[in-house]
Amino acid sequence: MRKIFLGIIFSVLSISVFANNLDDLKALTTTPEKLSGTFSQSKYLAQLETSINSSGSFNYIRDKKIVWHTLTPINSTLELTPKTMLSYQDGEQVNKLDSDTNPVVAVFSDIFFGVMTAQWQILEAYFSVSAEVSDGQWKATLVPVDESIGGFINKVTLEGDKYLQQITLYEPEGNITHITFDKLQQK
């Protein structure tokens, strides 16, 4: 009986600490109206035991649009709005997906906007979020609660200060994508 009681107390304390850390995280992170910067990305492909590196720039207008422009190794742009996903290569549109005809676009858009703009309430709809906050730095671990998302992502870690600085995506096949942001400018 004593072990059960101690287990319950430990669980309640853990939930309380988790809630406080998530509240601290929400208070610490900032979502400006507009933000731009550069990124470097490394994708480890487990089956090939190799990594592919890319880099580029991004900018967003909160709740309206994210433009993700990869400059190397190929010139491509992803333009994401809450309802559409447009792909461009060398300035030419190569693909357009719409949430009205493809519901996955809405989910992808929610998650991408949530990650890029620190909208924790959106992310909590798709993930269990745990957070660590210390000296103005934070780390959040997102584990999918939706099985359809779990088929693509095992876990996401986000790290930053006032702004998001790093993202790491862990995929079921062992692939890992790591993105680092730099030269962040609030507009």
CATH number at residue 55: 2.50.20.10
Q: Tell me the CA end-to-end span of the chain in Å, nearest whole number.
A: 58
The span from the CA of 44 to the CA of 34, in Å, is 30
Count each helix (H run) and each strand (E run) in the chain, helices first.
4, 11
- Per-residue pLDDT at 92: 92
pTM of the model: 0.83
Residue 165's domain comprises 34-182
Cα distances from 161 to residues 22, 133, 140, 184, in angstroms, run 14, 9, 11, 12
What is the model's pLDDT at position 16? 31
Cα Rg of the chain, angstroms: 18
- Residue 72 in any domain: the answer is yes
State CA 16 to chain mean position distance.
24
Tell whether 64 is covered by a domain: yes
Decide if 154 is inside a domain: yes
Number of domains in the chain: 1
pLDDT at 22: 65
Non-local (6+) Cβ contacts of 107 within 8 A are 126, 148, 149
What is the dihedral angle through the alpha carbons of 75, 79, 80, 84, rounded to the nearest 10 degrees?
-120
Residue 23 belongs to some domain of the structure: no
Pairing of β 76-80 and β 84-89:
antiparallel
Per-residue pLDDT of the chain (187 residues; tens, 9 = 90+): 444 333 333 333 333 333 346 677 767 677 789 999 999 999 999 999 999 999 999 999 988 999 999 999 999 999 999 999 999 998 899 999 999 898 888 888 889 988 888 888 889 999 999 999 888 899 999 999 988 788 889 999 999 988 899 999 999 999 999 999 999 998 7
Q: Is residue 4 part of a domain?
A: no
- Both tokens assigned to 180: 């680092």
Domain presence at residue 97: yes
Which pLDDT belongs to residue 105? Answer: 87
- Residue 122 belongs to a domain: yes
Q: Say if 135 falls within a structural domain.
A: yes
Q: Return the H-helix or E-strand segment holding 2.
A: helix 2-28
